[in-house]
Amino acid sequence: MSLWILLQGFSFGAATIIPIGAQNAYVLNQGIKRNHHLTTATLCSFLDVFYICLGIFGGGALLASNEQLLTGVTVGGILFLLYYGYSSIRSAMVSEMGEGNTTFQTGRGRKAVILGTLAVTVLNPHLYLDTIVILGSIGGQFEGDERVSFAVGTIMASFVWFYSLSIGAAKLAPFLSQPKVTKAIDVIVGCIMFAIAASLTEQYL
């Protein structure tokens, strides 16, 4: 296994995973609430393992070459981002009245957390456009053990990031869970979701 290529994989993986999106926002919120946050981080990481391997070992080329499939994924993702953005803004607006957060931001039980994690992962367009298409096209340039090294590096980046985000949010929960801070986070997340949806619309539709 090549250490240099593994580090390349880690760097490229971090570059695609770290920018805030629906998945990271959900992990952050679960960490702040300390609500099965390690379950959330674990599921996100293992789902990334599946999609990273799918992209690097052949799925990325298939998705990139199928225009109708790529368009369908993008349209579905845009609709999801718009709904998530609306949910975050609405949560910020109603928080003063004591109403709970929305479906994607609240997970009272483990089952709800798992379903929410699946939603923000499987319905996330960046998962397909970045993880499968972009990482897949880069990783596909390597052969044999080098391709495996690249995949392992990207997978390591995923585990490091999601656990760091989840545990860090839980540690900072006393500050981040203050009503004014929570409201500000909801507004920022909502605006980011709308911005991502607009960017995807401009780039791919």
pLDDT of residue 87: 85
pLDDT of residue 41: 96
pLDDT of residue 101: 46
**pTM greater than 0.95 (yes/no):** no
- Based on the structure, what is the number of domains in the chain? 1
CA-to-CA separations, 73 to 56, 66, 174, 196, in angstroms, rounded: 18, 11, 38, 14
What are the per-10-residue average pLDDT scores of the chain (205 residues)? 88 85 88 92 94 82 70 80 86 64 55 90 80 81 89 94 96 88 86 84 71
The answer to whether the beta carbons of residues 56 and 154 sit under 8 Å apart is yes
pLDDT of residue 106: 46
**Parent domain of 97:** 3-204
